[in-house]
Amino acid sequence: MAEGGKARRRFRLVHLLLIVPYIAVLWVPYFNRAEPALAGVPFFYWYQMLWIVLGAALLWPIYWVEERGNKNANKNDGA
């Protein structure tokens, strides 16, 4: 690696996934409605509940890519 290469975590395209939940739950006009209801629960409620799970799920690929990237980068310096 170049000098000081460990000092910065590289920006990867997969990081763009981090923005997705912000758009999904801050664009209020999109989900501020009752239909389609799910088992009697209005859209407004189940949509946001669903995003709790999706938001967490989106972090997985980033974690995975970074951990793998670091392992490769650190292979030779015993870290």
Partner 1 sequence: MTAALDWTAIIVFAALFSFVTLLGFFAARWRKGDLTQLNEWGLGGRRFGTVVTWFLLGGDLYTAYTFVAVPALMFGAGAVGFFAVPYTILVYPILFVVFPRLWSVSRKHGYVTAADFVRGRFGSGTLALAIAVTGIVATMPYIALQLVGIEVVIAGLGIHGEAPLIIAFVILAAYTYTSGLRAPAMIAVVKDLLIYITVIAAVIIIPAELGGYAKIFASVDPKNLLLATPVGKNLGAQSAYATLALGSALALFLYPHAVTGVLSSSSRHVIRRNAVALPAYSVALGLISLLGYMAVAAGVKSNPAFADGFKEFGANYAVPALFLQMFPSWFVGVAFAAIAIGALVPAAIMSIACANLFTRNIYREYLDPNCAPARESQVAKIASLVVKVGALFFIIALPTSYAIELQLLGGIWIIQTLPAVLLGLYTRWLNPWALLTGWAAGIATGTWMAAELNFAKSIYALHIFGWTVPCYAALSSLLLNIAVSVVLSALLNMVLRTRVDATVAEDYV
- Shortest distance in whole angstroms from residue 22 CB to partner 1: 6
Instruction: Kindly tell me which of 52 and 68 has the beta carbon lying closer to partner 1.
Output: 52
Per CB under 8 A, residues contacting partner 1 are: 4, 6-9, 15, 18, 21-22, 25-29, 32-34, 37, 39-42, 44-45, 48-49, 51-53, 55-56, 59-60, 62-63, 67
Query: Which residues in 25-57 are b (16+ Cβ under 10 Å) and which e?
Result: beeeeebeeeeeeeeeeebeebbeeebeeeeee
Least separation in angstroms between residue 17's CB and partner 1 is 9
Backbone angles phi, psi at 41, to 5 degrees: -95, 125
Phi, psi torsion values for 38, nearest 5 degrees = -120, 115
Minimum CB distance to partner 1, residue 62 (Å)? 7
